[in-house]
Each structure stands twice: as structure tokens, then as C-alpha cells.
Chain A
């Protein structure tokens, strides 16, 4: 299961947006990954996500696998759109 987004927050996926997104998916049991530029990391790892250096305007993919995968993706979608982090691509 996966979904694509375009990052619109001015600072890219750093600092506040990054903290929000990582905190949002951490409680889920599923394995949640974020991919950018053909590299994929654990979305529950703030250092992994920051190391991707995702700039504003980038297209990212969020995928989840596991029992609560659908709920995890939905939670990520809510945070991304409601906090002005990005829009569905």
C-alpha cells in the first residue's frame, strides 16, 4: 500500500514537519517507509528521514505494510495535508 505526495512546506521535510510526521506514524505496528530519489528509509526514524534531505517541491512516496497499514497511511495523509506539509500528487 502506498501514496505519493508533493512537499509544499517552505522548509522541506525538516524540523517541525519531520517531527510531526515521525511522531504520527510511530505508534503503528506496521512497517512504514518513505522514499525519495530512489532511496527508502523507515518513516519512524527521524534521523533517517532527515538524512534524505527532502526539499520543498519534492515528490515522495509513503508505503506501509502490516496489519494496521491502512490506518497508518491514513494518519500520515491527515498530518501531511492538515499541517501544510504537502499535497497529494
Chain B
């Protein structure tokens, strides 16, 4: 038995025999060829053959993944037939070298060019060019690439990497999962594994060199574990876990269209956190009641310059349109501190978490802030927009931000631009000072959303990235619960709703506590929504609330956790 670890990118368990994907030997010699015309003909034949293959792959991908995800192969077909690529390769052949060498020299040039670009998206395109020229080369050498569509028994694929075109050939009926040496959460193969709902572990570094041929393997896509030649006991154990996982997935699916309410019919809102418009898909697929946190800083990352007003407008509009009447809470730019933007050129700080970031930076750099607010306000007519400011510490900051937003709104209206009249303006409560004077904020903010990740680290003065003090990250601690209660009570006393958008909102131990405290909106990662909906449907807010006074007198997080387990059993 050998066990290796990688990055689990698609949940679930698979037990099947290993299918080792062996790439054909595509090595060749650079040689001189005198008959340029014949060589060019050979090259054009190869293009036609590769084109036929890619068209087939695209058709299969459309059937399996839909038009959207198959679009990549339309791009591959265009690359294959790119006139500039063709001209450059033919010119090399005219210089007297063989087509294989000409292809390699030209494609390497393009790959290098795309890899050196600043934009992450463009860098990823280098992989597409490699994929296409690989196929073209296999046609020139007359050595076919492995055809994964011929697999007709249950297997787990082990490969160096799966190119997009290989992933499109996977037949879910037989391919139970895959393991690769390279890759990460956002690589093509990882995304497609989640779409196909088959477990996958990537980035194992040496999976292709582990184990022997065709032995059984166990793949745990949730934990990122691969076990080669498992013992009978291990197989039995994982068979059980697999059944449980599948039963749970099935049971959770029943909650997609259910209303979010407790056993007595008390309504709450279960929303999803997103970073990019693309993330919406999974929030909607999991039956999210809204978006409780749109982290707009992701629109600013992985690029060489600020996103323009128009670019941001399009992103916000896309999200708002897709959400329709469902609320979308957008947090204005929370950059600075640990989240750096190379083009913003902020000075290095000793205490970035306590420094120049988020609303502090935006209030100081009004031009930067104005661009985002204009884009948001223009998009407001396309859905149910709510705006909140991050890292508010004092009432003055909130007033200043709100007034500036209203000023930008007036300006837009005077330019003749349509702006919604029903945008709620709220704030994040993530700094203890704001939680303490929540009663004062509740009079002026339309809503408050508690950001627990920061609130916990600021309350305990402990950087949770620092392993030596990470024991102080205690969401169930009475200190946190009292602050949360203070915010919820203050909101309700003023007729305002209160949400939460940290990890805590989706935590099974915290959920009964938050429900008891009267939290209105729980915003979490999309994959937790159905669990939360199922859990809440079995709880009774009324009953749990009767324990709150006692819970708040408990002295440690452990006591709270034990008590919650006891009363929810």
C-alpha cells in the first residue's frame, strides 16, 4: 500500500483500477527537406486530420458540458487554422526544414510570447497553443494521441496532466475519477471535474511514478488522497464512505428548491459568497437565496492596471441580471493589507492588517473609489443591489463613505443616467469598535453584515495565518457571541436586518447559535448552502433562543461547543 497526497479539487470517492495514460513518443529529428511543396502538402494534410478530430471533440464536449464550456474548442479550431501560424510554418518549410521542426519552432515562439504576458488569462492561453500543436505534431508523425473515448470499464485515470481536449473525451460512465501530477484548483481539468461531478486529485507531483500497472486505487477527492493497492479493510472502509457521501449528496439535492426556514417556519436567508461573476453558477446551482458578499477586489487582481468603470459596470450588471430579484450585496473594494495590487504601489507596512486598507484607502483615494461607485450605481437598475463598506471603525467613516456615494449618485443623475432608488447602503461589522457601538450604526446604516474572519482576529488580537497563535481563532467563544448578539439586537431594535458573511455563517456548530441570536442572513461558500438549509430545517429558533441567556454565561469556546452539541442532538 502506498499513499500520496495532492490537491483535492472535486469532492467524492472513487475505487477502481488505475488507467495510466501513456503519451505516444512524439520525438523527431530536425532534418533538411528538399521538396518544399510535398512537405507543405504533408503539413496541410495534418491540419485537416487534426481539424476532423477537434471537431469531434467539440461535438462531444457540447453534449457533455454545454456550449459554454465547449467554447474552448472553437478557439482551438481557430488556432489550428490560424493563417499567421500557417504562414510562419510554411515559411520555415520553404527555408528547407521538415514540417515537424517548423511547427515546433513556430509554436514555441507563440507559447513563449503568451507565457510572458502579464495577464493571467493570456498566460493560460499558452496551454491551448501547446495542446493544439501537440495534436498537429501527432498527426505529422502518424502516432495517434490516446483516445480516452475507447475506455469501456471502470477506471481512475492517472496522468501527468489532462489537457482540455482529453478531459472532453472522458466518459463519466467508466471514468470514475482522475489523478494528475500537476495542476491546481483553477486548472481546466479541475473545473471540468467539478462540472462532471467526478472526484479528482491534482498536483500530486509523482502519481504517474507511484504504484504498479492496473492495480486498484482509491481516490478521495475531498481530502486529496490517493491510495495505491489498498488493503481489503481500506477498500471496505472507503466503500462505506463512498456510499455515505453519495447518499448525502442525493439527500442534499432535495434542498435546492426548498425554502430556507427552521422547523417552525421561521425564515432566514441563505446566501453565497462570490469573487467573480463566474462564481454565480455554483451559488444558483446550490439554491442560494442571494449573494451575501461579492468580494469586488478580485476584479482588481491578476491584472496590470485598474479595471475601468465600463469593465466593472459589465461585471456588476452580469451578476445583478443573473440574480434577478434576489438580493446581491456588493462589498466595495477591500484592498491593501495582505491583499496587494502591484500597480497600486502601496508602501510596505509593519502591521498590514491594522494599516492602510479597504475603506481607509478608498476615502483617501476618491478617484479610485468614484470609479467603482459609478459602475455600481449604473448597474443598480439591473437587479436588487445592496452596497456595503468594509472595515468601518467609526461613525465618521460610515457617514463620509455614504455621503460620497450619494454625491456620486447625484452626479450620475445630473448626467441623465438611470440609477435605482431602492439601493440599501450598509456596512461590514468586522472591527470590534463597530460591534460595540452597533446601536449607533444601526440608526444610519440600512443593514449590517458581520465579517467574522476579521472580527475574530481583531477581537483576540491574533493573526490567524500565524500557526503559533491560531488557537485563538475561536468563533464560538463567548466574547464573539456577545459581540454578535450586540450587533443583531442593535439592528433589530432599529428595524434593520443583520447578516454574516464569514466562515462562521456556514459552520454547523455556529448555525444553531446564530439562529438562536436571530441572525437574518447567512452568507457562506456556495458548497455549504444546502448543508445549512438542511440543518436549519431541523432546528427550532424559538427553542434554541430559550438557551441563549445560559450560553452567554459559559466561559469558554469548548463549553459552548459541548452545550450546542448537547441541545441539538
B is bound to A: yes
Chain B 81-119 interface 0/1 with A at a Cβ cutoff of 8 Å (1 = within): 111110000000000000000000000001001100101
Which chain B residues numbered 295 to 333 have a C-beta less than 8 Å away from chain A? 305, 307-308, 310-311, 314-315, 318
The reply to whether the CB of B479 lies closer than 8 angstroms to some CB of chain A is: no
Chain B at the A interface: mostly helix, strand, loop or mixed?
helix
The reply to whether the CB of B75 lies closer than 8 angstroms to some CB of chain A is: yes
Q: Which residue of B lies closest to A41 (CB)?
A: B84
- Asked if A47 contacts B84 (CB within 8 A), the reply is yes
Q: Which residue of B lies closest to A10 (CB)?
A: B314
Q: Which residues of A contact B74 (CB under 8 A)?
A: 19, 23
Query: For chains A and B in complex, what number of residue pairs have CB atoms within 8 angstroms?
Result: 68
- Asked if B84 contacts A42 (CB within 8 A), the reply is yes
Stretch at the interface among B121-129, B461-469, B510-518: B121-129
The reply to whether the CB of B151 lies closer than 8 angstroms to some CB of chain A is: no
What CA separation (Å) do A46 and B129 show in the bound complex?
A: 11
What CA separation (Å) do A12 and B110 show in the bound complex?
A: 20
The reply to whether the CB of A61 lies closer than 8 angstroms to some CB of chain B is: no
Q: How large is the interface on A (under 10, 10 to 19, 20 to 34, 35 or more residues)?
A: 20 to 34
- Asked if B314 contacts A47 (CB within 8 A), the reply is no
Which chain A residues numbered 39 to 59 have a C-beta less than 8 Å away from chain B? 41-42, 44-48, 50-51, 53, 55-57
The reply to whether the CB of A89 lies closer than 8 angstroms to some CB of chain B is: no
The reply to whether the CB of A15 lies closer than 8 angstroms to some CB of chain B is: yes
The reply to whether the CB of B78 lies closer than 8 angstroms to some CB of chain A is: yes
Of the candidates B78, B81, B119, B315, which one forms a contact with A53 in the assembled complex, judged by CB atoms under 8 Å apart?
Answer: B119
What CA separation (Å) do A5 and B84 show in the bound complex?
A: 24
What CA separation (Å) do A46 and B79 show in the bound complex?
A: 6
B324 CB → nearest A CB, Å: 19
- Asked if A22 contacts B78 (CB within 8 A), the reply is yes
- Asked if B82 contacts A57 (CB within 8 A), the reply is no
The reply to whether the CB of B71 lies closer than 8 angstroms to some CB of chain A is: yes
Q: Which residues of B contact A45 (CB under 8 A)?
A: 82-85
What CA separation (Å) do A71 and B85 show in the bound complex?
A: 25
Q: Which residues of B contact A26 (CB under 8 A)?
A: 78, 81
Task: Knowing A14-B121, A19-B74, say if A56 contacts B308 (CB, 8 Å).
Answer: yes
Q: Which residue of A lies closest to B86 (CB)?
A: A45
Q: Which residue of A lies closest to B68 (CB)?
A: A16
Which chain A residues numbered 1 to 31 have a C-beta less than 8 Å away from chain B? 8-12, 14-16, 18-19, 22-23, 26
Of the candidates B113, B121, B129, B310, which one forms a contact with A56 in the assembled complex, judged by CB atoms under 8 Å apart?
Answer: B310
What CA separation (Å) do A57 and B74 show in the bound complex?
A: 25
Which chain B residues numbered 423 to 440 have a C-beta less than 8 Å away from chain A? none
B interface residues, Cβ below 8 angstroms from A: 71, 74-75, 78-79, 81-85, 110, 113-114, 117, 119, 121-122, 125, 129, 277, 305, 307-308, 310-311, 314-315, 318
* Nearest 9 A/B pairs, CB to CB: A10-B314, A45-B84, A56-B311, A46-B78, A57-B308, A45-B82, A10-B311, A48-B84, A19-B75
Could you list 30 A-B pairs, sorted by A, with CB under 8 Å?
A10-B314, A10-B315, A11-B121, A12-B311, A14-B122, A15-B75, A15-B121, A18-B75, A19-B71, A19-B78, A23-B78, A42-B84, A44-B82, A45-B83, A45-B85, A46-B78, A46-B82, A47-B79, A47-B82, A47-B110, A48-B82, A50-B114, A51-B113, A51-B114, A53-B117, A56-B307, A56-B308, A56-B314, A57-B308, A57-B310
